[in-house]
Chain A
Amino acid sequence: MIENEYLLAVTPHQTPSGPLVLEVRGELDHHTAHLLSRAVDDAAFDDSGVVIDLTGLTYCDSTGITVLISAYQKSQATGAPLSLAGVNPDQMRVFSVVGLDQVFTFHPSTEAAVASLRK
């Protein structure tokens, strides 16, 4: 687990024979975004895909959005499918305003995202 003053925790989980899940908990902003950025850099983007679990995300500013777009760019470059799971309605509204609702694949929960990627 990587932590910055307990504000953000990013925990990678490798699901058995399935996608890599990056569980993000806490505040994703310009103080903490480098933690997720590093986790995305370190993550293997392969055919089994990557799920970023945002169920525990309490705040996301523009720097946080930059890291999520970087993850999207990495998935485009590697061909690895990427989805976001558990985005709350307020955050979803922010994603819609900046037009990212058309960019990411969303799932209500990590389970749903993992199931969808295993198909």
Chain B
Amino acid sequence: MTVSPAGTAPAVPVAEEARLAAVRRYRILDTPPDGAFDRIASLAARFFDTPMATVAIVDTDRVWFKAAHGLDGVTEIDREPGLCASAILHGEPYVVKDAGTDARAFADPLVQGEPGIRFYAAAPITTADGQRLGTVNVLDTRPREPTDDQLEALQDLAALVMDELELRLSAMRTIAAERDRRAEAERLARALQRTLLPPALPDVPGLHAAAAYHPASADEVGGDFYDLFPLDDGRWAFFLGDVCGKGAGAAALTSLTRYTLRAAAIYDPDPCAALSNLDTVLKGEYQGSDPRYCTAAFGVLQPLPDGSHAITLAGGGHPSALAVRADGSVEPISTAGGQLVGMLPDPQFVQTTTRLRPGESLLLYTDGLTEARTVDGAMLGEDGLTRHLTATAPRTAHELLRSVETLLQQMGDGVSDDTACLALSVPAPSTPSPQENR
């Protein structure tokens, strides 16, 4: 809407502006035909035994028909004074018994031209705050004398149109509010998810570390997590895991899991003890009707004088970590037998040890990777991942992550769940030395 300089155009009266605002509020103009309003128009025609009836909304410069019974192909007419345009000026039924002798209706296009209206009766469609949006009309090409009963029925039908419009408006608002709430919930879940992943991994002396999170869907937040942090005795702890479920509930569980594991490591950095601690906390938090679990690997790194790192790794229902050895072979660091955390009465956690020597690396991942389907439809599995890593022979944590990234890209839509990866590597000696025997 534009504002004209004073005096150059007739101003829209304030009352009409308020009425038009109400018309806009119900968002009914130019909507497609609709069974509910068609039925109201045909009911009106039946009550009056007239060939024509309409449900009309009066816009700025036109009268638009939401329903038109017996008026073939007419969807709107100009807003000339006479019938509908005049009817909305009245709070009660507006009746033209014979347009041929009624000066008020003479100029109306439906009277002047086709179909040559003579009889017209209208009841205003009035909002709760008194705005008249339009009318329910009955029309005939011959003069008529309506009864009081008929005019009362016409008012009832107009009230029914108003009820229907209110219902629709409230449904539209509910849907919009619901959409906003969902968008907000998803936004919060994503924001929460981001806070669960360390923005950058700390610098660990003598070690390279890299991590990545590959969400399978932008809409659904999964619950993979990882972390790497110092213990107070010169050792380092790391974990990676996956909580069950999706969405905000999973994000909340991820948060609890991550902080519980960090706290547990301060209290007792023994890897199995950390998982047991988490098990107790999850059972306490999620007992009853909404049980939840996670799978996790928790490890402790001990730097050794020769530059290698001793690793103690515990698993609770988590896939094997994979070590890429200096000779290029890929070795599973298995914690098989370890059970998922948080739901079983007396879960077992399994601990193992290994050593990362210079030039060697370790990959921890969540099952979104190994449960993904390759292009031939088979599950990738630990075997498939091992073959891929053997073929690509990554030498550092970054190369390891890049190799996994390539694999995920190759599988494309076969990846149906989020995947988190944490890679650790001990740098090879900077000067290339002749092949050594261990």
Contact = CB atoms under 8 A, between A and B. Distances in A.
Given A62-B244, A98-B340, A76 B348 contact: no
A14 interface: no
Contact of A63 (B245, B344, B347, B348): B245
Contacts of B336: 96-97
A101 B256 CA distance: 27
A100 interface: yes
Interface in A75-119: 76, 90, 93-94, 96-100, 102-103
Contacts of B344: 69, 99, 103
Nearest to B286: A66
Contact of A99 (B347, B371, B381): B347
Contact of A103 (B246, B319, B338, B339): B339
Interface in B367-391: 367, 371, 379, 381
Given A69-B291, A93-B379, A94-B367, A100 B340 contact: yes
B292 interface: yes
A4 interface: no
Nearest to A33: B245
Nearest to A65: B244
B319 A66 contact: no
B137 interface: no
Contacts of B417: 61
A65 B343 CA distance: 11
A81 to B, nearest CB: 16
Most buried by B among A66, A70, A90: A66
B293 interface: yes
B345 interface: yes
B246 A66 contact: no
B317 interface: yes
Interface string A4-45: 000000000000000000000000001000000000000000
B118 interface: no
Contacts of B338: 99
Contacts of A62: 242-245, 293
Nearest to A31: B246
